[in-house]
Amino acid sequence: MRLLRRLAFSLVLASLALTLNSCALIAWIVAVINPPQKVEAKFEPPAEKKMLVFVDLTQVDTPQPLRGALTEAINEQLLENEVAESVVPYEDLLDLSATMDGFDRATPARIGRELEAEYVCHVLVHRFTVKEDEVGPLWEGHLDVSVSMVDVEEGEIAWPKGEDGGWRLRPIKTPLTDDPSPDFGPKLTGDLANRMADRIAKLFYDHRAVVEPELPD
């Protein structure tokens, strides 16, 4: 009986190999061997709170479009998955950055107070690139961030406790792509932002996924 099961499984793989490309086949095999498991939230903010997503670019020389794309993508995920009751619109953050003295030096808690948020999802960007080099024709996306949740009233990090640098997520990378279109850069930025937003939001609600280890501290 065991031999028959193995033979049947081999025949299924053989037939799939004829119809799927290698990436799809590998993904299917991984899903069969390691099915999605329940992943508990790393931290669940108190319900019925207003949240500010603050994408911090102080460590990188990064174009501002990333801040908008990532902020709006995270806002959407937080609301859709009921992590926050409401979020601060990105436009309000832009207005504050243009009018507040010392905005670039302000703490996430201070910015949260100015915008009447109760929690701040602080996303510190460590690296963001969309090209292999500035003058070359090849695109290669790379986005590396860490995340912390700040309690505005307390003025301190609510999660992760004792981790000043925040929770470091696995970087998102894309393969080298040769594309002459001037629209490819913004598209790649949006794709990286959407993928990272999904990972960030999942830190704060239970979900099912193929469990992958986080980067070591």
Q: What is the CATH number of the domain that holds 160?
A: 3.40.50
Residue with the two structure tokens 């696995």: 170
CB atoms within 10 A of CB 167: 19
Same domain, 23 and 97: no
Residue among 143, 102, 107 nearest 126 (CA):
143
Structural domain harbouring 66 = 39-209
Same domain, 158 and 195: yes
Same domain, 107 and 75: yes
Report the relative pairing of strands 177-178 and 172-173 from DSSP bridges.
unpaired
217 falls within a domain: no
Q: E strands of the chain, at which residues?
A: 37-39, 50-56, 86-87, 119-131, 138-151, 156-159, 167-168, 172-173, 177-178, 207-209
DSSP reduced 3-state for 76: helix
Same domain, 75 and 178: yes
Same domain, 27 and 54: no
d(CA 64, CA 167): 23
Same domain, 24 and 86: no
73 falls within a domain: yes
Question: How many domains are contained in the chain?
Answer: 2
Residue 37 main-chain phi, psi, to 5 deg: -120, 160
Is there a contact between 96 and 71 (Cβ–Cβ < 8 Å)? no
Same domain, 28 and 134: no
181 falls within a domain: yes
DSSP reduced 3-state for 179: coil
d(CA 113, CA 110): 5
Same domain, 165 and 205: yes
215 falls within a domain: no
Q: Which amino acid is at 114?
A: E
DSSP reduced 3-state for 7: helix
Residue with the two structure tokens 């490309």: 21
124 falls within a domain: yes
Report pTM: 0.80
Q: What is the pLDDT of residue 217?
A: 39
Report the relative pairing of strands 119-131 and 172-173 from DSSP bridges.
unpaired
Same domain, 128 and 189: yes
Same domain, 19 and 43: no
Q: What is the pLDDT of residue 216?
A: 43
CB atoms within 10 A of CB 151: 18
Same domain, 144 and 172: yes
Same domain, 130 and 26: no
Per-residue pLDDT of the chain (217 residues; tens, 9 = 90+): 554 555 455 455 455 555 555 555 555 565 566 677 889 999 999 989 999 999 999 999 877 789 999 999 999 999 999 999 999 999 999 999 999 999 999 999 999 999 999 999 999 999 999 987 777 778 999 999 999 999 999 999 999 987 677 999 999 999 999 988 878 989 999 999 999 999 999 999 998 876 555 444 3
Q: Which two tokens stand for residue 150?
A: 């700040």
* Biggest distance spanned by C-alpha atoms of the chain: 75
